[in-house]
Structures are given as C-alpha cells and as structure tokens.
Structure 1
C-alpha cells in the first residue's frame, strides 16, 4: 500500500465489542483502505496514458479479490471466538489508524 498522501477512510472502532461487530469493522476498514489505494493507483495509471474501462474493472476486481482473501481468515477467526482479548487485538490492529496509516 502506497498511501500516496491519499487520506485513508476512517472507520471508528465499534462501541459494540462483540466478535460480529469487530468482524464488520475489519471488513469496513479493509474496504476503506482498498478503495483509497485503488483510487491512487487508477490516478497514476491514467496519468501514464489511456486506461480503458475494462482495465479499470480488472484492477478493481483484483483489489477486491486480494482484500477479500486477506480479511477472510481474521474475520472468520473473530466470528468463531468469544475471546475478548482476540476481539480487542483485532480492533487495535484494524483501528482508525492502523499500521497502513502510520507510514
């Protein structure tokens, strides 16, 4: 993830500390980062030359698949636990300013 000075979307950690709320938060946070990175990549590609609608859709699909694959294991783990420490760790890792925003 490049950051490129693009503002990553903010998704406040939920007040509800349930595993389900944490899993939703992880998915929203990942989607927010995916969208910001996709926008930055498309801007760079368009600046380098013509970009067709088919190419835009292909890049979008690729980012969706990568993001879905990356969040599948953590969200599945959250949904199968009642461990409050695991939920707290996930919310910390995927909080408003996770590691991707600190670069």
Structure 2
C-alpha cells in the first residue's frame, strides 16, 4: 500500500508517474503512465491518497524508486520524488 500526502501549502493534482524498478540481478525496468490505479487524485494541503498496486519481478527481491509529476493550483508543475524502497515476496524478509 502506498500513501501520497500533500505536504505543500496549495492543492495539487497527480498527473503522471515514473517508476524505476530494479530486480536482484540488476535488471532495470521503467514504468511511465498517467495517474495511479486509473486515478489522478486532487490533494488539498495535508490530504492523503492511499492505493495498492504491484510490480512483477523475475527475482524474489528488488527495489523501486521514482516520482509523481504534479500540477499545483498555481499552475506550476513539479516532481514529487520517491526515495528507493525494497520490494519482496510477502514473508520473505523479516
């Protein structure tokens, strides 16, 4: 489950996503697309949006990082960067 939270001072809409997924063998896959799970959520300051999604890996463990491209109510577009995090088969890691 992923939670996106608007920590800014103005409302913003999530336009697109860009993910870089790396498996344990170092194979890299990039994923780009509109919104998340078919939605382009509009977030007021302090508001969050939670969704569940998945990624297909050829190995039991991998890593994922990326960004959401956002549009603020002031007309400015910006990237909300997502730091790398671990992907693993449920129950594999403690």
TM-score by length of 2: 0.27
Higher relative contact order (CA 8 A, sep 6+): 1
TM-score by length of 1: 0.25
Which structure has the highest strand share of the two? 2
Task: Give 1 or 2 for the bigger CA radius of gyration.
Answer: 1
Which structure has the highest helix share of the two? 1
